[in-house]
């Protein structure tokens, strides 16, 4: 057996039990790697449960900056007896298996292609730590210390991180540091030079940050000027609202302690979106955050907002469906449900952020788009993007940016009007009409909002002509939306490349890595990252100029492909679907195999590449 021998390019997995405090220990490891200047990507693979079930925390270390999920495990830290066998089997050939040797491994654990490293974690903490209550938590720190020694990392950055983590609770720092040293020393003594995976300090992180998408979206809502929130708890979106609440306390308190935001926990998602629509109708910026089941409940109201032309920002952090599905697993499977949410002829602008920075920017911008277009705008994130920390460019805010409140008439403008105002009269041809907020003017600008059909002056009518004119105008507004929304990001590897790949959202880092890889192997592929719906001309041009277009997405039915075929003049056979939908974040090693097969089926054979690196190939 040849043990894996790599620097800053491998995957570590921590197999633990949820609710046992392992998350913060695992996070400590990822954070220190990041602070050593090496790009890193932690992913929490967790069950829909509070305590006692198996959970994994995968950390990909990638000096090259590939921070999508790779797949496979090079080094397993197995501290969950329930999954020991499975964890042992899942280590790649040549990999390392670290376990708690306070109990011997079962006799049938006899792989000869894996380096087995036993650290008596439980015994070490039992001997050294007086307080029995603290032992389970500190056992987690013992394996972090052991891992540091195995990977040739200095203990100092870990000590620094612990000190800063417990700066408000200094008496906790000491036992943590002690536990770290226990693991570190034990490995140094018993397993010197055993592991050939190394973390070495680099300067590859620049000004990047480590942040989860949900936090970034909460900040986006703060910066975008949201003041009213209607919400109902649902995984994996809840932490957006929690973070928003924390940032309200930090940034939005008045001197008397009152806050410049109303966060209303509603009785259900029907009410949550109703609160948003009531607030935006009344001139505030408002949003809700939910997941698939919530979107289902919100659809009736989304249709009202579409037809009555009321702005709304909805964040959908997608999880695996249908129905309750797998609440703590990721997917991109609400696309069609969101694009055409509600009965009747409805469609809604969608945004597809690809990293936390874009989560921030697009959420903030969504308020401008919703106000400008007077319609609901849905920002589609997913559990992987929303709840995992991501290596991301820093968040940026342009101080010159001013909120675009769209076409709203104030009292002065109403007084200056020379012709009769109509709430649903398009005076300048973009399909968007001027609105007023309640209470603006004593006798001008009043109208009655309704989901029933009405004429240009918002008077109830069932007249076919008035109804059809209105529906046509909404289509014109749909065209305007294409100019307002962000364009796709197109990367041209070679002008004459025959193959184009389309992806969006959290698939982005994996897709980019795989495309790089195929390019290096002599198969140039152009790519397009879709950032918004409705699709702009650039999308159709990209598809038209490639012989084969592969749409990579994380759902079973190829929903983006369906949307493209439905919305454009695209021959269905030119769009090939590559999907991943098992609930785990899409992984590069699986994706490249599927892509190779798809290309081979169309006569494009990609040269093989030696597997010396830890990358996807």
Partner 1 sequence: MTFFRPAFRHPDLPPNAAGFHRRDYEGGLSTLCAGCGHDSICNAIIDACFELALPPHRIAKLSGIGCSSKTPAYFLGRSHGFNSVHGRMPSIATGANMANRDLIYLGVSGDGDTASIGMGQFVHAARRNLNMTYIVMNNGCYGLTKGQFSATADKGSKSKQGNVNLLESIDLCELAIQLGAGFVARSFSGDKAQLVPLIKAGLSHHGLSFIDVISPCVTFNNNPESTKSYHWVREHSEATGTFDFVPFRQTITADYADDTVQEVVLHDSSVIHLHKHPNGPDITDRRQAIDNLEDHKEQGVILTGVLYVNPDSQDTHDILQTSVRPLNSLTEADLCPGAQALEAVNTAHR
Answer positive or negative: Cα dihedral of 25, 585, 239, 63: positive
Decide whether 128 or 209 has the Cβ nearer to partner 1: 209
Please identify, among the stretches 68-76, 263-271, 374-382, 498-506, the one whose residues bind partner 1 according to the rule CB under 8 A: 263-271
13: β partners: 58, 76
Radius of gyration over alpha carbons of the chain, in Å?
A: 27
Number of residues that bind partner 1 (CB under 8 A): 72
Kindly identify the residues of this chain, within the stretch 194-213, that bind partner 1 according to CB under 8 A. 207-211
* N-term to C-term CA, the chain: 20
Is residue 438 part of the contact set for partner 1 (CB under 8 A)?
yes
Min CB(480)–partner 1 separation in Å: 24
How far from 513 is each of 165, 384, 617, CA to CA, in Å?
A: 33, 17, 10
Helix (H, G, I), strand (E, B), or coil: what is residue 88? helix
Kindly identify the residues of this chain, within the stretch 371-400, that bind partner 1 according to CB under 8 A. 394-399
How far from 177 is each of 32, 167, 171, 187, 283, CA to CA, in Å?
A: 14, 13, 11, 16, 53
Decide whether 322 or 438 has the Cβ nearer to partner 1: 438
Among 257, 429, 465, 603, binds partner 1 (CB under 8 A): 257
* Separation between Cα atoms, residue 106 and residue 112, nearest integer Å: 15
Min CB(9)–partner 1 separation in Å: 22
Please identify, among the stretches 40-48, 135-143, 440-448, 537-545, the one whose residues bind partner 1 according to the rule CB under 8 A: 440-448
Contact between 95 and 43 under an 8 Å Cβ cutoff? The reply is no
Min CB(351)–partner 1 separation in Å: 20
Decide whether 119 or 243 has the Cβ nearer to partner 1: 243
Is residue 255 part of the contact set for partner 1 (CB under 8 A)?
no
Min CB(175)–partner 1 separation in Å: 25
Please identify, among the stretches 7-15, 144-152, 372-380, 430-438, the one whose residues bind partner 1 according to the rule CB under 8 A: 430-438
- The three-point CA angle 170-171-175 to 5° equals 115
* Separation between Cα atoms, residue 558 and residue 581, nearest integer Å: 10
Alpha helical stretches, state H, 193-268: 213-223, 238-251
List all residues 6 or more positions away from 110 whose beta carbon is below 8 Å from its beta carbon: none
Tokens coding 339 = 């694009």
Min CB(444)–partner 1 separation in Å: 9
* Separation between Cα atoms, residue 5 and residue 29, nearest integer Å: 20
Among 57, 223, 244, 369, binds partner 1 (CB under 8 A): 223
Kindly identify the residues of this chain, within the stretch 24-43, that bind partner 1 according to CB under 8 A. 34-35
Is residue 275 part of the contact set for partner 1 (CB under 8 A)?
yes
Decide whether 95 or 303 has the Cβ nearer to partner 1: 303
List all residues 6 or more positions away from 133 whose beta carbon is below 8 Å from its beta carbon: none
Among 21, 65, 201, 278, binds partner 1 (CB under 8 A): 278
Is residue 437 part of the contact set for partner 1 (CB under 8 A)?
yes
Among 75, 197, 279, 320, binds partner 1 (CB under 8 A): 279
Decide whether 16 or 440 has the Cβ nearer to partner 1: 440
* Separation between Cα atoms, residue 328 and residue 583, nearest integer Å: 8
Is residue 462 part of the contact set for partner 1 (CB under 8 A)?
no
Decide whether 23 or 592 has the Cβ nearer to partner 1: 23
Is residue 266 part of the contact set for partner 1 (CB under 8 A)?
yes
Min CB(319)–partner 1 separation in Å: 24
Please identify, among the stretches 61-69, 123-131, 274-282, 490-498, the one whose residues bind partner 1 according to the rule CB under 8 A: 274-282
- The three-point CA angle 480-223-235 to 5° equals 90
Min CB(40)–partner 1 separation in Å: 12
Is residue 344 part of the contact set for partner 1 (CB under 8 A)?
no
Please identify, among the stretches 60-68, 87-95, 123-131, 273-281, the one whose residues bind partner 1 according to the rule CB under 8 A: 273-281
Among 7, 172, 284, 609, binds partner 1 (CB under 8 A): 284
DSSP category for residue 259: B
Contact between 96 and 76 under an 8 Å Cβ cutoff? The reply is yes
Q: What is the 3-state secondary structure (H, E, C) of 493-553?
A: CCCCCCEEEEECHHHHHHHHHHHHHHHHCCCCEEEEECCEECCCHHHHHHHHCCCEEEEEE
Decide whether 283 or 558 has the Cβ nearer to partner 1: 283
Is residue 264 part of the contact set for partner 1 (CB under 8 A)?
yes
* Separation between Cα atoms, residue 474 and residue 289, nearest integer Å: 26
Helix (H, G, I), strand (E, B), or coil: what is residue 457? coil
Is residue 441 part of the contact set for partner 1 (CB under 8 A)?
yes
Is residue 442 part of the contact set for partner 1 (CB under 8 A)?
yes
Between 286 and 325, how does the x/- string for binding to partner 1 read (CB under 8 A)?
x-------------xx--x---------------------
Decide whether 284 or 604 has the Cβ nearer to partner 1: 284
In the block, which residue shows the tokens 């650039």? 538
Among 203, 267, 428, 483, binds partner 1 (CB under 8 A): 267
Contact between 572 and 582 under an 8 Å Cβ cutoff? The reply is no
Please identify, among the stretches 68-76, 82-90, 262-270, 509-517, the one whose residues bind partner 1 according to the rule CB under 8 A: 262-270
* Separation between Cα atoms, residue 215 and residue 211, nearest integer Å: 7
Residue 270 burial (CB < 10 Å; 0-12/13-18/19+)?
middle
Contact between 12 and 59 under an 8 Å Cβ cutoff? The reply is yes
């Amino acid at each position: 057996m040849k043990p894996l021998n790599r620097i800053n390019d491998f995957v570590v997995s921590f197999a633990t039990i949820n609710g046992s405090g392992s998350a913060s220990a695992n996070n400590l490891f990822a954070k220190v790697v990041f602070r050593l200047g090496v790009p890193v990507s932690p992913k929490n693979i967790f069950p829909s449960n509070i305590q006692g079930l198996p959970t994994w925390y995968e950390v990909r270390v990638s000096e090259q900056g590939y921070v999508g999920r790779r797949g496979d495990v090079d080094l397993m830290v197995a501290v969950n007896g329930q999954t020991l066998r499975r964890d042992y089997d899942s280590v790649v050939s040549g990999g390392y298996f670290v376990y708690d040797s306070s109990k011997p491994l079962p006799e049938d654990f006899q792989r000869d292609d894996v380096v087995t490293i036993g650290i008596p974690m439980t015994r070490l903490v039992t001997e050294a730590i007086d307080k029995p209550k603290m032992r389970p938590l500190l056992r987690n720190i013992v394996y972090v210390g052991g891992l540091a020694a195995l990977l040739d990392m200095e203990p100092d950055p870990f000590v620094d991180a612990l000190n800063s983590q417990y700066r408000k609770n200094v008496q906790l720092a000491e036992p943590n540091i002690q536990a770290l040293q226990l693991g570190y020393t034990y490995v140094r003594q018993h397993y010197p030079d055993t592991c050939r995976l190394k973390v070495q300090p680099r300067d590859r992180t620049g000004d990047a940050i480590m942040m989860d998408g949900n936090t970034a979206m909460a900040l986006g809502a703060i910066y975008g000027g949201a003041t009213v929130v209607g919400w109902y708890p649902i995984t994996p979106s809840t932490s957006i609202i929690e973070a928003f609440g924390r940032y309200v306390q930090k940034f939005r308190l008045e001197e008397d302690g009152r806050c410049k935001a109303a966060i209303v926990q509603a009785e259900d998602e029907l009410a949550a979106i109703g609160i948003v629509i009531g607030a935006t109708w009344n001139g505030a910026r408002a949003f809700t955050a939910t997941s698939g089941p919530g979107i289902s409940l919100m659809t009736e109201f989304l249709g009202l907002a579409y037809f009555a032309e009321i702005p709304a920002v909805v964040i959908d952090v997608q999880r695996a469906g249908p129905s309750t599905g797998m609440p703590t697993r990721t997917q991109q499977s609400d696309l069609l449900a969101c694009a055409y949410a509600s009965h009747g002829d409805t469609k809604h602008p969608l945004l597809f952020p690809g990293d936390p920075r874009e989560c921030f920017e697009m959420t903030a911008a969504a308020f401008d788009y919703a106000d400008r277009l007077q319609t609901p705008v849905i920002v589609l994130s997913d559990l992987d993007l929303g709840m995992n920390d991501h290596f991301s460019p820093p968040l940026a805010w342009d101080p010159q940016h001013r909120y675009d409140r769209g076409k709203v008439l104030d009292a002065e403008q109403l007084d200056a009007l020379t012709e009769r105002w109509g709430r649903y009269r398009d005076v300048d041809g973009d399909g968007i009409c001027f609105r007023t907020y309640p209470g603006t003017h004593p006798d001008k600008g009043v109208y009655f909002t309704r989901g029933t059909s009405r004429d240009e002056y918002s008077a109830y009518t069932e007249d076919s002509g008035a109804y059809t004119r209105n529906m046509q105008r909404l289509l014109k507004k749909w065209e305007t939306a294409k100019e307002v929304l962000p364009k796709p990001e197109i990367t041209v590897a070679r002008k004459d490349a025959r193959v184009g790949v389309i992806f969006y959202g959290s698939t982005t880092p994996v897709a980019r890595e795989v495309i790089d890889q195929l390019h290096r192997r002599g198969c140039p592929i152009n790519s397009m990252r879709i950032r918004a719906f409705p699709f702009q001309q650039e999308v159709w041009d990209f598809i038209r100029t490639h012989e084969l277009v592969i749409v990579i997405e994380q759902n079973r039915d190829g929903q983006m492909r369906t949307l493209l075929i439905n919305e454009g003049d695209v021959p269905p056979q030119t769009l090939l679907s590559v999907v991943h939908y098992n609930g785990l974040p899409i992984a590069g090693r699986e994706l490249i195999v599927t892509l190779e097969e798809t290309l081979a089926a169309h006569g494009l054979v990609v040269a093989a590449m030696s597997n010396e690196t830890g990358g996807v190939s």
